[in-house]
Amino acid sequence: MTSSSAFSSSPSPSSSFSSSSFSSSLSPADRLGFGAMQLPGRWAGPVVERATAVAVARRAVELGVRHIDTAAFYFSATERANDILRDALHPYPEGVTIATKVGPLRTATGEMYAEARPEQIRGLVEENLRQLGVDVLDLVYLRVGRLKAVGGVPIGERFAALAALREEGLVRRLGVSNVSAGQLAEAREIAPVAAVQNRFSVLDQADRALVDECAAAGIAYMPFFALGGGHTALQDEKLRKVAERHGATAHQIALAWGLARSPAIIQIPGTSSLAHLEENMAAARVVLDEDDMALLER
């Protein structure tokens, strides 16, 4: 896999802890990525046809996506996100980062039942290497919490297990997901953290302090559920008003809001629809002004 254009340094896999800071000079278009969780479909919902999912992943890269977010635990009854990405994009184009995560353990029918113990982290990283068909993973998050964040729980041992795999050359950059400020600080004591992935959107701005902390520290912040996590989540009066002002959709405003909110933010909206993908990528052209941002502040 290639090194990312989203990070200002590209430590070689064998190097010791060198800095991996996020480049805040990226344009909004460069900060519009793609989340692969919708590609296989859901256990509870319909499975997405492989050909459709492959077409969406390929189109994402054609439209300029340089950051794709996945996990071995994104799968439906018949499809896995990592297999789809490999089918669609391997050998991965120069400059495209594939970020994955380890932590939650899922049953074959999709339920998250436990968090990985430190000694299980290697097997999970190797699973991602195999599925994605690479020797080194660009960015791997330790994803904390089975279903939701558990702020007070120490993550040191598990993060150290992941950091050791970076030292070994299996992982280029490290991230943490679903974490509190305390857990991020704990991780940073162990190894450089290149990215944080937490829940944050125009509708849920509770993590604002951590977004600002990441920006100040040169850490990329990839919000999940930037679109609220579902089809009807963005039915909001203020969003509608701003969307009308710009001749845009609520989904485009939600994405443009994150890009305007912080230079650390790389959006990873999820879709298995070509039409929604095109719409989401066009959000890079929507520039929100101070009045829009003030109206959308919560």
Ligand X SMILES: NC(=O)c1ccc[n+]([C@@H]2O[C@H](COP(=O)([O-])OP(=O)(O)OC[C@H]3O[C@@H](n4cnc5c(N)ncnc54)[C@H](OP(=O)(O)O)[C@@H]3O)[C@@H](O)[C@H]2O)c1
Give the active site residues. 74
Among 95, 156, 229, 263, binds ligand X (CB under 6 A): 229
17 contacts 164 by C-beta, under 8 angstroms? no
- CA gap 147, 132 in Å, rounded: 24
For ligand X, the binding residue among 161, 171, 227, 248 (CB under 6 A) is 227
* 82 scored as a contact of ligand X (CB under 6 A): no
268 binds ligand X (CB under 6 A): yes
Instruction: Please list every residue from 91 through 120 that binds ligand X, using CB under 6 A.
Output: none
Using rule CB under 6 A, residue 273 touches ligand X: yes
Q: Choose which of 73, 92, 221, 225 interacts with ligand X (CB under 6 A).
A: 225
Which amino acid type is present at position 292? Answer: D
280 binds ligand X (CB under 6 A): yes
If the CB atoms of residues 11 and 200 are measured against ligand X, the closer one turns out to be: 200
Among 102, 172, 99, which residue's Cα sits nearest to residue 135? 172
Does the protein bind ligand X through residue 272 (CB under 6 A)?
Answer: yes
What is the DSSP track for 25-92? T--TGGGB-EEGGGTTB-SSSPBPPHHHHHHHHHHHHHTT--EEE--TT-B-SS-BHHHHHHHHHSSP
Rounded CA separation 276/55 (Å): 13
11 near ligand X, judged by CB under 6 A? no
Which uninterrupted H or E stretch holds 47? none
CB of 177 vs ligand X, minimal distance in Å: 4
> Residues 157-196: x/- map of binding to ligand X (CB under 6 A)?
--------------------xx------------------
- The vertex-290 CA angle with 284 and 291, nearest 5°, equals 105
Select from 20-28, 36-44, 180-188, 209-217 the region that touches ligand X (CB under 6 A): 36-44
> Binding of ligand X at residue 33 (CB under 6 A)?
no
CA distances from 18 to 11, 163, 166, 240 (A): 6, 12, 11, 44
> Are 23 and 7 a contacting pair, CB within 8 Å?
yes
Residue type, 5: S
3-state DSSP assignment of residue 251: helix
Contact flags string 40-69 toward ligand X, x per CB under 6 A: -----------------------------x
Task: Using the minimum distance from each CB to ligand X, give the nearer residue, 226 or 239.
Answer: 226
Which CB, 28 or 228, lies closer to ligand X? 228
For ligand X, the binding residues (CB under 6 A) are: 35-38, 69, 143, 177-178, 197, 224-231, 251, 268-273, 276, 279-280
